[in-house]
Structure formats: structure tokens, C-alpha cells
Amino acid sequence: MAVRSELDGVPLGPDAFVATMTSYGHFTAMQVRDGRVRGLAHHLDRLTTSTRLLFGAELDVERVRAYVRQAIAGEPALSVRVLVLTRSFDEPMTPEILVRTLPPHPVDPAPLRLRTVRYQRDLPQVKHLGTFGLIHHARQAELAGYDDALFVDHAGRISEASVWNAGFLAGDTVVWPEAEVLPGITMLVQQDALHRLGVPQETREVRPADLGGFDTMFLTNSETPGRPVASVDGFVLPPADRAVKLLAEAYETVPWDEI
């Protein structure tokens, strides 16, 4: 299927998307199957909280759901992005809702080689449209022979990767880095699932020098419940098979919510 975009429920032509280009706004990304998505409540809470923060406005989540249902009608499998943005900076700002549908992205199981970089996103708790730094640092890492960038904050702590949350396995405990990060929906869903399964979890500071103390490292985002990390700055990590299996099994226990 072709990429489709609808702004406040109105389909846009192939060139009209240019008119919506702005760096002020936020979004959530989801994998939709037969009209359902995992972690719907987390997606709606993200959109509501970020709209309040960026626009000082309340978001009608039922309108969001209606727009998404309209955009996905008749399609069994899609990647969907819901963007809340504005094309006018006059106050009070009026947020608009853009729904984009794309083909589902196949999961890539290949382990990633990461390069650390000192970087902290603006408003890290928001999945906002200001992605210049993410793309720039990821590209620089690729040009240097790595697969992606791993961000280290100004306190020297590992935080997140370009489009991923990071996690670690220490024995039977899943460790999440303590830093200012985007609370990714898949990470939140995984945390809920692991808690229900009785898997120990903790959040603590992790620095690059601490990597040798972990059994493995993984990344997670809306397309992948657990992606293995092969190395960081050339430091080779143990295979992540056990962590990936644990995360996949936990993720499969999460129900699909009807949009």
C-alpha cells in the first residue's frame, strides 16, 4: 500500500504533506493489526500529556481514535503515526491531528553495533518532531562504521539510542537506565508485562564503563520488542539471545486493544 496521510480526518494528496511540515509538535508510532494495537492506553496518555505540555490544550482522544479507525479501515497490518502539530504559531495555538499510515516494517533481528555520543534531546520526555539531532548523530555513527548512536548525557550516563530505549540484563534482572529519556511505549508495555510475569526489574545509573558488568544489552521500540546489541564503542557484549527471548515472550502476553 502507498503512504497515506489524513489531517483532521481529511485525506491529503501526495504533495499536500509538505504543507504540514513543522518541527513543533509530537507524535506516537504504533503497529496496528486488524484494527488493534498493543498499549493503546499508553499511546493515548502520551498524546494527551504532550498536547497539554506543548500547546496548553486538551486533546479529544475519542476524535483521535475515530481518525485512526478511518485511516486504517480495511487494512489488516499497518505502521501508523499519529501526529499532533500546528501550522500556525498564533496564540492560542490550535493543534491539528495528522494520521499517517505506512506498510508494516519487518523486524530485523541482527545485533547492532553502537557508538556513544554526548547528546541530550530537548524535552526528552516528549516524542516531539525535532529529530535533527537524532538523525544527525545516527548518520555520523553509520559513517564511522557503526549501526547507530547511543546517547550519553552530560552526567556521563547512558540514556537512549536514536529511536530506541535501552535496557540490560544482569542475571535474571532487567535493568533500565536512570536518565532523562523518552518513555517509549514498547518499554512501558514491556515493563508492565515483565511485572505481571514476576521478572525482577530495576532502574539505575549505567555508564559506558559499567557495560562489562551486564550479561547483555538490548534496544526496544515500536517495531521491535527486543533488539540485541553486539557492541558499544568496540566493546563486545555477550549474545543477547536470552534477553531477546524473555522480551519476546513477555510482549506476546500483552493483549491487543481495539482502536
The whole-model pTM stands at: 0.94
Residue 203 is predicted with a pLDDT of: 98
Contact criterion met (CB below 8 Å) for 82 and 200:
no
- Distances in whole angstroms, Cα of residue 100 to Cα of each of 42, 83, 236: 19, 8, 38
> What count of residues does the chain have?
259
Q: Is 192:199 a contact under the CB 8 Å cutoff?
A: no
What does DSSP say about strands 10-11 and 4-7: parallel, antiparallel, or unpaired? Answer: antiparallel
Output the CATH code of domain 112-258: 3.20.10.10
Fold annotation for 4-102:
D-amino Acid Aminotransferase; Chain A, domain 1 (3.30.470)
Q: Residue 87: what pLDDT?
A: 84
Domain ranges, ordered by start, for the chain: 4-102, 112-258
**Nearest residue to 129 via CA among 119, 121, 141, 120:** 121
Per-residue pLDDT of the chain (259 residues; tens, 9 = 90+): 557 888 899 988 765 665 567 789 999 999 999 999 999 999 999 999 999 999 999 999 999 999 999 999 999 999 999 999 988 888 988 899 999 999 998 888 899 999 999 999 999 999 999 999 999 999 999 999 999 999 999 999 999 999 999 999 999 999 999 999 999 999 999 999 999 999 999 999 999 999 999 999 999 999 999 999 999 999 999 999 999 999 999 999 999 999 9
Question: What's the rounded Cα separation, in Å, for the pair 36 and 258?
Answer: 4
Give the integer Cα–Cα distance in Å for 80 and 31: 6
